[in-house]
A and B are shown apart, each in its own frame.
Chain A
Amino acid sequence: MEKKQPGATVIPVFISSDKTQLTPFRGKMAYPVYLTVGNIPKDIRRKPSRRGQILLAYLPTTKLEHIDSIAGRRRAVSNLYHACVGKITQPLGPASVNGVEMLLGNGDLHRCHPLLAGFISDYPEQLLGACCKNGTCPKCTVPPDNLGDGKDYPLRDLKEVLAALKTLDTGPTAYRKNCEAAGIKPVLHPFWEDLKGVNIFDSITPDVLHQIQQGVIKHLLNWIKSIFGAAEIDARCRRLPPNHNLRHFSKGITSLSRITGQEHSDICRIILGLIIGMKLPGNRSPVQLLRAVRSILDFFYLAQLPTHTNKTLQHLRTALETFHSNKSIFIDLGVRKNFNLPKLHSLQHYVSCIESLGTTDNYNTENTERLHIDFAKDAYHATNRKDEFSQMTLWLERKEKVLIHQVFIELISTPKSPPIPPTAPSIDSATLPSINEDESNEVSHIHMTKTPSVSSVNFNQIVSEYGAVDFRQALTVFIASYNQPTLSRRQLQNEAFKIFLPFQKVPVFHKVKLWNDDPLNISEGKRTLDVIHCRPIVKTKKGVKIPARFDTALIDVAADPGGGVTGSLALSYNAPFSPFS
């Protein structure tokens, strides 16, 4: 672009569409299309409150029941989709080639070239958008029987597809044949046909929510269930001790129905721990199975990193390769005949997509699902359910006006800040100051209540109820080492014997909260919180016994930072107390 017309500003347009249910039972649907631009940083786009996404259209949701033949109906549905989206996106074609002058928020005028960069949707809609047949990959030419082999296939050839689309005038039979040869469905004028510079197959983005969480992980859980049996998995789930940041599935995980994405990620946290040490039928070695499960989990977590480097992308690749070299265990155990799953195949394209359009949080369908609440569901509830779209659009326009006005009022009522200097657009900024990896100074904080949970507990109770055996001895050693930190272990013991404790009771705290600052500072001040509980059996007023809870904590006692587990002390955390209060 620079060569032809220097000074162009590229606007990467992201379009996401997803059908959604408006009413829980009557099957009323809406088909909103959202638009956002890649110029807005992803942490703004992600927040619905910042309104970085705009509702572009409501598409018709008809199922075309008046057409009798199923094949004809399907064809008409995809023709309708492309006719509608084509009508909406039509102005993008000339604008991307010639550019349009647009005013930026700081008053600068830019010649903008808006280009469709990403098409965010779930698998059925990816197929619809890219005119591909069910069971094929919308990005590459993998044969349907090789979806699970973990190999890379040549990408779909846009040139060939466009050439086939040009033969529409030669008659329906020839057109169908040509389209078939190019690997697409014979759709009349797909919406991307006239969008210059847009490769729809490239712009189809990975979808962590549907492809991994609700796809591969869901399959994996089913396989694990049929290998080990529901009873054993659920029993192990129930036996897990409660832990902070860990959901406790008291009824097990196999009986859950309609599992949400959040529940899947909660299960992911425990699933590897659940299956470690379980016996496989026929006393097989479980190594391969554990490797396969672990590699899928690795992939799941790595794919969601908000920042990737070539090195982390290599880890992502390795995780997928590890799964493919170990997946045969599922066939050997008889839970799978093949791996021809389009969602499993889609993982193949993650690395190239992250390199091309940035990390997966730029185009997660989770954001779209959240927007449905504001843009479709709330809007629908404001209508009288008759001729709803004219009312929904009016309601939305008014709501947006009020919100904009609110921002405006906030803006004029706050004192003026100095204007932000405009950043000069230049293409020479090829290299930026490199990120210093050592800069992460992780600080951990401890937080306890001001007053102890129990104001006085005598030493015998500490032993009997809290299980802190030898508490008195440990306390004297601690006092000795606190007063004289240079003593050897032997001298400490001697010194401890001399200490007389002038009290029989100590106040006890039942909870310690710890948190670490986010070392990369990506989650905007959000800190990882952890809680250590230590509480004896309590009886409620109704006589119900709440079981005791003593968490295990690993405490780093070595002075050497980054010592890892080697410098840690594992201890069951019994009775944090304060002798000096």
Chain B
Amino acid sequence: MILAQLVFQVHESLGLSFKTSKELNTIVDKLPGRPKFKKSEVTVAGEVFDVWHRDILECIQTLIGDPEFAGQLKLVPERHYTDKDHLNRVYSDVHTGKWWWKIQVGWVLVLSVTHS
């Protein structure tokens, strides 16, 4: 009884909005977060398996929509050179590579080459 009173006082005097860990979890659950996991079933060789996964497009949206990364995202491919004649190309981040450039300018071409 005394203990219960003590516990009550602790949360009162700290000014907490929850009394139990369960209550805290319900508050946390109301916060915005990253995409929710869902359970899917996959059947292989007559047996059902569980896969826990998130929606991949929602994940991508979360990553590129994160305000923390705003202004730092690379959105277009670039070519960097160390010399005026564009002979010595620099490679570092993904957007400086050839893959991105190829996709950006020649998506139709890529599609027809790989999946015709």
- Residues of B contacting A: mostly: mixed
Q: Is B2 on the interface with A (CB-CB < 8 A)?
A: no
A19 CB to nearest chain B CB (Å): 15
Q: Is A87 on the interface with B (CB-CB < 8 A)?
A: yes
Contact present for B75 and A52 (CB under 8 Å): no
Contact present for B42 and A434 (CB under 8 Å): no
* Beta-carbon nearest neighbor of B108 in chain A: A4
Q: Is A566 on the interface with B (CB-CB < 8 A)?
A: no
Taken residue by residue from 48 to 80, chain B's Cβ proximity to chain A (1 for < 8 Å, 0 otherwise) reads as 011111111101111111111111111111111
Contact present for B73 and A39 (CB under 8 Å): yes
Whole-angstrom CA separation of A411 from B68 in the bound complex: 10
Q: Is A431 on the interface with B (CB-CB < 8 A)?
A: yes
Whole-angstrom CA separation of A270 from B69 in the bound complex: 40
A56-B54, A76-B44, A112-B64 in contact; A310/B89 too (CB < 8 A)? yes
Contact present for A3 and B54 (CB under 8 Å): no
* Beta-carbon nearest neighbor of A387 in chain B: B50
B87 CB to nearest chain A CB (Å): 7
Taken residue by residue from 15 to 26, chain B's Cβ proximity to chain A (1 for < 8 Å, 0 otherwise) reads as 000000000010
Contact present for B107 and A4 (CB under 8 Å): yes
Q: Is B6 on the interface with A (CB-CB < 8 A)?
A: no
Choose among A358, A400, A437 the residue with the greatest number of B CB atoms under 10 Å from its CB.
A358
B64 CB to nearest chain A CB (Å): 6
* Beta-carbon nearest neighbor of A307 in chain B: B92
Contact present for A41 and B51 (CB under 8 Å): no
Contact present for B74 and A355 (CB under 8 Å): no
Contact present for B87 and A310 (CB under 8 Å): yes
Partner among B43, B86, B94 whose Cβ is within 8 Å of the Cβ of A38 = B94
Contact present for A1 and B104 (CB under 8 Å): yes
Contact present for A39 and B64 (CB under 8 Å): yes
Partner among B43, B51, B64, B100 whose Cβ is within 8 Å of the Cβ of A57 = B51
Partner among B44, B73, B97 whose Cβ is within 8 Å of the Cβ of A105 = B73
Chain B residues with CB under 8 Å of A411's CB are 67
- Number of B interface residues at 8 Å Cβ cutoff, please give it: 78
Chain B residues numbered 91-116 whose CB sits less than 8 Å from any CB in chain A:
91-100, 103-108, 110-111, 113-116
Contact present for A12 and B91 (CB under 8 Å): no
* Beta-carbon nearest neighbor of A50 in chain B: B68
Q: Is A91 on the interface with B (CB-CB < 8 A)?
A: yes
A10-B103, A54-B59, A310-B89 in contact; A425/B42 too (CB < 8 A)? no
A446 CB to nearest chain B CB (Å): 32
Partner among A11, A64, A114 whose Cβ is within 8 Å of the Cβ of B45 = A64
Whole-angstrom CA separation of A110 from B74 in the bound complex: 13
Whole-angstrom CA separation of A354 from B92 in the bound complex: 8
- Number of A interface residues at 8 Å Cβ cutoff, please give it: 109
Q: Is A435 on the interface with B (CB-CB < 8 A)?
A: yes
Contact present for A39 and B107 (CB under 8 Å): no
Tell me how many residue pairs across A and B have CB atoms closer than 8 Å.
Answer: 286
User: Could you say which of A148-156, A402-410, A458-466, A572-580 contacts chain B?
Assistant: A402-410
Q: Is A158 on the interface with B (CB-CB < 8 A)?
A: yes
Chain B residues with CB under 8 Å of A158's CB are 114
* Beta-carbon nearest neighbor of A79 in chain B: B44
Chain A residues numbered 370-425 whose CB sits less than 8 Å from any CB in chain B:
389-390, 392-394, 396-398, 400-402, 404-405, 407, 411, 420, 422-423, 425
Contact present for B25 and A398 (CB under 8 Å): yes
Choose among A10, A100, A159, A423 the residue with the greatest number of B CB atoms under 10 Å from its CB.
A10
A4-B108, A115-B103 in contact; A105/B68 too (CB < 8 A)? yes
A102-B61, A105-B69, A106-B70 in contact; A76/B45 too (CB < 8 A)? yes
Contact present for A39 and B74 (CB under 8 Å): yes
Contact present for B39 and A12 (CB under 8 Å): no
Contact present for A40 and B51 (CB under 8 Å): no
Partner among A8, A97, A117, A358 whose Cβ is within 8 Å of the Cβ of B92 = A358
Contact present for A434 and B83 (CB under 8 Å): yes
Q: Is A291 on the interface with B (CB-CB < 8 A)?
A: no
Chain A residues with CB under 8 Å of B52's CB are 57-58, 389-390, 392-393
B43 CB to nearest chain A CB (Å): 8
Q: Is B13 on the interface with A (CB-CB < 8 A)?
A: no
Chain A residues with CB under 8 Å of B110's CB are 197
Chain A residues with CB under 8 Å of B116's CB are 159
Q: Is B90 on the interface with A (CB-CB < 8 A)?
A: yes
Contact present for A56 and B69 (CB under 8 Å): no
A103-B61, A197-B107, A309-B82 in contact; A41/B29 too (CB < 8 A)? no
Partner among B68, B91, B106 whose Cβ is within 8 Å of the Cβ of A307 = B91
Chain B residues with CB under 8 Å of A106's CB are 67, 70-71
Contact present for A357 and B53 (CB under 8 Å): no
Whole-angstrom CA separation of A158 from B72 in the bound complex: 34
A54-B54, A425-B75 in contact; A357/B99 too (CB < 8 A)? yes
Taken residue by residue from 347 to 378, chain A's Cβ proximity to chain B (1 for < 8 Å, 0 otherwise) reads as 00000001111110010000000000000000
Taken residue by residue from 1 to 36, chain A's Cβ proximity to chain B (1 for < 8 Å, 0 otherwise) reads as 111100011111100000000000000000001011
Partner among B72, B83, B108 whose Cβ is within 8 Å of the Cβ of A40 = B72
Chain A residues with CB under 8 Å of B50's CB are 60, 389
Chain A residues with CB under 8 Å of B32's CB are 401, 404
CB pairs A–B below 8 angstroms (18 shown): A10-B77, A10-B100, A11-B60, A13-B56, A39-B94, A54-B62, A62-B49, A83-B43, A84-B49, A87-B42, A114-B60, A115-B103, A197-B103, A309-B88, A390-B52, A394-B37, A425-B75, A434-B80
Task: Using CB atoms and an 8 Å cutoff, list the residues of chain B in contact with chain A.
Answer: 25, 28-29, 31-34, 36-37, 39-40, 42-45, 47, 49-57, 59-84, 86-100, 103-108, 110-111, 113-116
Can you name 11 extra interface pairs (CB under 8 A) apart from A1-B103, A358-B91? A8-B104, A10-B104, A56-B53, A80-B49, A114-B56, A197-B114, A308-B92, A362-B93, A401-B29, A425-B75, A432-B79
The 3 closest A-B pairs by CB, nearest first: A105-B70, A1-B107, A38-B94
